[in-house]
A and B are shown apart, each in its own frame.
Chain A
């Protein structure tokens, strides 16, 4: 039997040709922060296991989290958590059937971007300066 002749199918334009818009960038970031939080749970599990093991293991993990690399990772993780949480709140607004107006959706996207950075800075300022 002769193999079927397969014509290449037409492709729809993909991400690359669109001008980035606030709602689009925030949607992409929602997925990226979600994936980052997913893999970051390794850090949560490691912290819990170290705390459940002994002082030496906990000393090692505390040393890592306190190092510059550890702090940058945790700072990024804090932001990812805040960003993903606020993105989720926007989804809850949309779930009620509200907030789909183009300009309002853009404002909500920009507001949650600003709020995620603000909350992250406040959390870290509180942890490092107040406590």
Chain B
């Protein structure tokens, strides 16, 4: 019977305390930081959409171009996209067990998040700087 307390890590690995891939703590921490930021930013976004839902194009564009709204949206897009990339990574790692498919899904995850981020940030900045 093997010793149940056997530790397969090297003494250096143990003292660094970073886990097996050295990124687990960072993943958890970034997930929680962005989760916290997403609460006020998400509520701001809901309020914004509620306020603008019946407004004509000119009013919507003008308020999206105003600097407090533009900054809030940029923060939401940044924090939200980091959060959802981390979350989707966990989902993929939980359910996709074939190595090639898993890595392909993780790559697509990053590409999807980057595409949404670039498109959103470009649109926000275009409105903000055109105003």
Interface residues of A (CB under 8 A from B): 31, 34-35, 37-38, 41-42, 44-45, 48-49, 51-52, 55, 58-59, 62, 78, 81, 85, 88-89, 91-92, 95, 123, 126-127, 131
Q: Please tell me if the beta carbons of B39 and A85 are within 8 angstroms of each other in the complex.
A: yes
Q: Please tell me if the beta carbons of A59 and B127 are within 8 angstroms of each other in the complex.
A: no
CB-CB contacts below 8 Å: B47-81 with A: 50-51, 53-54, 57-58, 60-61, 64, 73, 77, 80-81
Q: How far is the CA of A127 from the CA of B50 in the complex (A)?
A: 5
Q: Which residues of B contact A48 (CB under 8 A)?
A: 64, 73, 119-120, 123-124
The 10 A-B pairs at the shortest CB distance, nearest first, are namely A48-B123, A52-B123, A55-B57, A127-B50, A52-B126, A45-B119, A38-B84, A58-B57, A49-B123, A45-B120
| Tally of contacts, chain A with chain B, CB under 8 A | 79
Task: Knowing A41-B80, A41-B81, say if A126 contacts B50 (CB, 8 Å).
Answer: yes
Q: Which residues of A contact B36 (CB under 8 A)?
A: 92
Q: Which residues of A contact B116 (CB under 8 A)?
A: 41-42, 44-45
Additional 18 contacts, C-beta under 8 A, given A42-B116, A52-B122, A55-B57: A34-B84, A37-B84, A38-B84, A41-B80, A41-B116, A44-B77, A45-B120, A45-B123, A51-B60, A51-B123, A51-B127, A52-B61, A88-B39, A92-B35, A123-B46, A127-B53, A131-B51, A131-B54
Q: Please tell me if the beta carbons of B124 and A58 are within 8 angstroms of each other in the complex.
A: no
Q: How far is the CA of A107 from the CA of B63 in the complex (A)?
A: 41
Q: Please tell me if the beta carbons of B57 and A31 are within 8 angstroms of each other in the complex.
A: no
Interface string of B64-102 (1 = CB under 8 A from A): 100000000100010011001001100100000000000
- A119, chain B: closest CB distance, angstroms: 9
- B40, chain A: closest CB distance, angstroms: 10
Q: How far is the CA of A37 from the CA of B77 in the complex (A)?
A: 12
Q: How far is the CA of A87 from the CA of B120 in the complex (A)?
A: 26
